[in-house]
A and B are shown apart, each in its own frame.
Chain A
Amino acid sequence: MRVLLVANQFYPVVGGIENFLRAYAPALREGGHDVAVLTSRHALAHEPIDDYDGIPVFRSDLERALAARDITRVHQNRRWIEMVERDWAPDVVHAHDTGSQMWACLRIPGARQAPMIVTIQTSMPGMLDPASLPLASRLLEACEWVTGVSRAVLDEARRLAPDIRGHSSVIPNAVPIPAAPPVAPPATPRVLCLGRLVEQKGFDVAVAAVPRLIEQVPAATLTIAGDGEKRGDLAAMANAMDLTDRIDFVGVVPHDRVAALIDSASVVAMPSRYEGLPLVYLEAAIRERPVVGTAVHGLGEIIEHGRTGLLVPPEDPQALAEALGAVLRNPTLARSLGTGARDLVSREYSMTVCLDAYTELYRTVVGAGPRHAAD
């Protein structure tokens, strides 16, 4: 089967969707499918066509043309996307979240040749401007199938677009399970926050939790890995709270060094304000590191409190500090949460499970053909 994966961003951009696709696309190819990626051009990847690990990557300039309000360039990019879909001739188009690339694929004049699946990767009300939600809902309804990476994000989407109820399901994100066994946690108590430094991730709540954490665990430190628009604010906050010797900003960490970064931590904090099904949880779990996360969307689903992690309310530095302190002061609890998480992820969130679910869905929608051929 020929599968065109569509995402607004792809490698070398880092983020949950991008990292998932970097693992998923090669796994799909190894499963015997032809795979290509349609995404945006990028300052570090500005050629219209390149490849990732032998997988063709088509990069349109649609987003920048839109940002510049340049209708001529918008049109040229729409034509280019039409050409990609016509010439590469996928059997199925699989988009990840709504976005301009997906929009352009759906709006190709005349009948679409390939059915489209869209996977909702995160909370739509959390992610999108309220003014764009009606359009995003219409895009979901125009697809042959909609999947959500967690029950919570799919339920939100079904409330926004009730027509998708008959053609939608949950397929969680996944990670490859490495052969290398997890390593013992470090001797020094170290909390890790890993992800894009954006409002969604709530790393400001983790910074705010540090003083209370130090009261319980005097040697505790916080490492913040990632980059983004909130980096300056977070650094200023750490400075204002006189915590610069306790908080280390290490910037973006290449994906092949993430496992080592997690190994160097005692516990991973995920104080997110909303989430789909965060890859960071899965990556921490396979390294047997306990996670303290907020009870939001997919994070609240995957963490069974006391068994596969600890749950705290969002926006609550005190509760976060208490939970982190409980894990750092109790190695038995930490070990138990880590192994519980690893068992869960190995069983239900492996790339093999994910690949089987998607390929079965591809066969179903390809067999049924486009529902909206005249769209």
Chain B
Amino acid sequence: MRGAIGRWALPLLASLAVALTAAPRIARAQPSIDVAALIKLVEEQPADMDRATWKEKRREAAKRLGTIRDKRAVVTLAKLAENETFDIIGEIAIQGLGQLGDPSAAPALQRIAADAAREKSQRELARKTLAKLGVATEPGGSPAAPSPPPPTTGPAPRPSSGGRRPPRDEPRPSSGKPAEVKPSNDDPDEDSAADDGEGPEDGEDGEDGVDTAGVGAALLDEGTGPAGPTWQPQVLAAAERLTLGAGSARLSYDTARKRPAFEGDLAATYEHRVDELARMIAWGGDARVIAGYVNPDGAGANRGAVVTAAARGEARFYSGKVFGVGLGVGRLGLTYLSIDRADPNAQDTKDVRTSADLEIALGAGYGRVLDQGPRLRVRRLARALEAHRALGRPIDEATARELQSAWWALRSARSARRALTSTVSILRRAGVLLGEPDAALTYELLGVLRDGQLADRPSGMEVWLGFGEGYLLREDEPQVADGRVEQLLARGRLGQQREDGVADLTADAFARLALFTGDDPAPWALGASARVRRFTYGEYGDPLGAFDLRAEVALSSDDRDNTSVGLRLGGELGFSWVLDLASEVRVSAAVFEDAGELTVLGGLQARYGLLDGAFAAP
């Protein structure tokens, strides 16, 4: 019996040992990865698959080929790397060749590295891959050293969808070694910072954790702006605006009448607003200085100045759609006027008037209006990509937030270049943008980023009712309400945006009633206005202008002079036509009826740049 067991046991144990030893290898070598099928998927679009899906699957297949130690994968990836110059799959293939580590891919990579017609990012990636393989950038040359990317700052991107971090155990050339990559003289855009040897090594994170290796590295070099905020999920909207306006400034001297004159108007406005799920905080202020001076020969000089400064803040606390609101306003005003009259019998005027307001209001309301402009900009980006067949997949929430974070960080930038390169970089990393954008798509993307028609696009509905208490300081003349004033206030706002952003509707309503006026008049007023706009765009996404239709109604009673209610009805129809950067035409017609008087106003404002061209010799 024992002998029988021994006879069976030995081969069984031996088989088990062999099986256990071989199992991992078998598992690794499982034909779960069908190389032939992957290659076929890369090379041919299946009949039952739409093009967009195929492009996505094809990129995944190329990535997987880069992980398989199979000679056939090298051939296929080399072919992809050389031929796919517009799709991101070309860069995936270059990376894959680096991962496979097969020197037979070197000639293809050398051709890519030397091809001046290709994207800088692709050439740089090919050089890095050659360095990884230990092969010279050019045939017959010495092994190339990769030029480290410069440190990047900017909104932390999500992991690259197309790239892969090189494993830490892969051999990497020393960054301290002098770069042996032959400078590309044909590339005037070569970023010198890329070769300064101070950046993180290939594949390492930049200072802020941005993986600078991989797909779109060159775009990252150019594209990342300063770090923007990471919007928390509870943040619904935010805005910050600082506007400086030199309304006008005019200095003249009339030699015939010996009459110097000056007029200037300078204004600044600041707004900061953050809407969160449970609260809203807004604050800001404005200041304005106006000066005028006219001094004709002889008497009759006029000097005037107006200085105003105001600050306001508002806080809301939400419970669902119901909110409590508190707002405060402070304002200072100073007006100076000096008139030396030519008529010696007329009295000169020299007067300074000041005023000050300090007011608060508390109330409750319902609803919320948010600015949807940035969202509409994201949607228009997606539409532009779709129109150019460059939309790999829809822009998801995370990518939309990342885009807006980058735009926020660049909100003070004078040029749109960094916004453009950041946007392209983010879209490529997210797999939304397929390949480098061509000139036509770049033009449209830039147009979307600079589109002023997407600013201030309120959406939602809100109403609130509040009690206002204030203290007003006024001059003795004229007799106006001053000291303590109380009033009942109501406000309403409505905004509706069409999904594609080409039309909107906004409406505002107000009501006020003076309280505790005793024997003095207790004026009240209420009014509403609504405006519909239809924005127009050209064939290439250029903002062409907007139709706007506005209607208003207001009622009031000042409770003076035994008069009844004053009524005002009005409407305006206009079209602003933006012909080009130098030309704009505004045509409008307005009609309003007030106190029984009908007024019709027509307007035509035109600014037309007939020619706009320039040349400069070298």
A and B associate in one complex: no
Q: Residues of B at under 8 Å CB distance from A? A: none
Q: Residues of A at under 8 Å CB distance from B? A: none
